Amino acid sequence: MQIIEPAQQMEKEKSSTKKNITLLIIVAALGYFVDIYDLILFSVIRIKSLNGLGITDPDQLASIGSFLLNCQMIGMLTGGILWGVLGDKKGRLWVLFGSIITYSLANIANGFVTSVDQYAILRFIAGVGLAGELGAGITLITETMSKENRGYGTMLIAGIGLFGAVVAAQVGKHYDWQTSFIVGGIMGLVLLLLRLGVIESGMFHKVKSEEVQRGNFFMLFTSWNKFKRFINSILIAVPVWFVIGVIVTFANDFGKEMNATEPLSPGNGIMYAYIGIAIGDLLCGALSQVFKTRKKIVFIFLTATLVSVVFFLFSRNFNAQFFHIMCFIMGLSTGYWVVFVTMGAEQFGTNIRATVATTIPNFVRGSLVVVLLFYNWLKPTQGVIHSGLIVGLFTIGIAYFALFNLSETYGKDLDYVEK
Query: How does pLDDT run across 163-210, given as a tens digit for each residue?
Result: 887 888 889 888 999 999 999 999 988 887 777 667 777 787 777 767
Digit-coded pLDDT (tens) for 149-175: 888 888 888 778 778 878 888 898 889
Q: Report DSSP state, residue 347.
A: T
pLDDT digits over 77-90, tens only?
A: 899 999 999 989 98
- Please list, residue by residue across 252-273, b when 16 or more beta carbons sit within 10 angstroms of its beta carbon and e when fewer do: bbbbeebebeeebbbbbbbbbb
Please answer whether residues 361 and 341 qualify as being in contact, where contact means their C-beta atoms are separated by less than 8 angstroms: yes
For the cut 90, the answer to whether the pLDDT of residue 390 exceeds it is: yes
Give 8's pLDDT tier (boundaries 50, 70, 90): low
| Residue 304 pLDDT level (bands cut at 50, 70, 90) | very high
Q: What is the DSSP letter of 219?
A: G
Band (pLDDT 50/70/90 cuts) for residue 13 is: low
Q: Where are the domains of the chain?
A: 18-199+217-404
Share of the chain above pLDDT 90, in %: 47
Greater model confidence, 115 or 271: 115
**Does residue 328 carry a pLDDT above 60?**
yes
pLDDT, residue 11, reads: 58
211-250: pLDDT as tens digits: 778 878 889 998 999 999 999 999 999 999 999 989 998 8
pLDDT at 1 over 60: no
Residues 6+ positions from 360 with CB-CB distance below 8 Å = 80, 135, 230, 233, 234, 237, 340, 341, 344
- Continuous H helices in 90-163: 92-110, 116-130, 133-144, 150-161
Query: What's the mean pLDDT in 388-417?
Result: 94
| Predicted local confidence at residue 6, as pLDDT | 56
Q: Residue 9: pLDDT above 60?
A: no
> What is the pLDDT at residue 25?
85
pLDDT of residue 333: 97
Report the range of poorest mean pLDDT among 137-151, 200-214, 326-340, 386-400: 200-214
Length of the chain (residues): 419
- In this prediction, residues 296-305 reach a mean pLDDT of 97
Q: What is the mean pLDDT of the chain?
A: 88
Please report, for residues 36, 145, 199, the alpha-carbon distance to residue 196 in angstroms, rounded to integers and kept in the order given. Answer: 21, 20, 8
The superfamily CATH assigns to domain 18-199+217-404 is MFS general substrate transporter like domains (1.20.1250.20)
pLDDT range class, residue 22, cuts 50, 70, 90: confident
Confidence class for position 336, pLDDT limits 50, 70, 90:
very high
User: Per-residue pLDDT tens for 90-132?
Assistant: 888 888 888 888 989 999 999 999 999 999 999 999 999 988 8
Question: Could you tell me the pLDDT band of residue 136, with boundaries at 50, 70 and 90?
Answer: confident
| 8-state DSSP, 259 | T
Helices (H), 192-294: 202-208, 224-235, 238-242, 251-257, 266-290
**pTM, full prediction:** 0.83
Task: Kindly state the average pLDDT of the residues 26-32.
Answer: 84
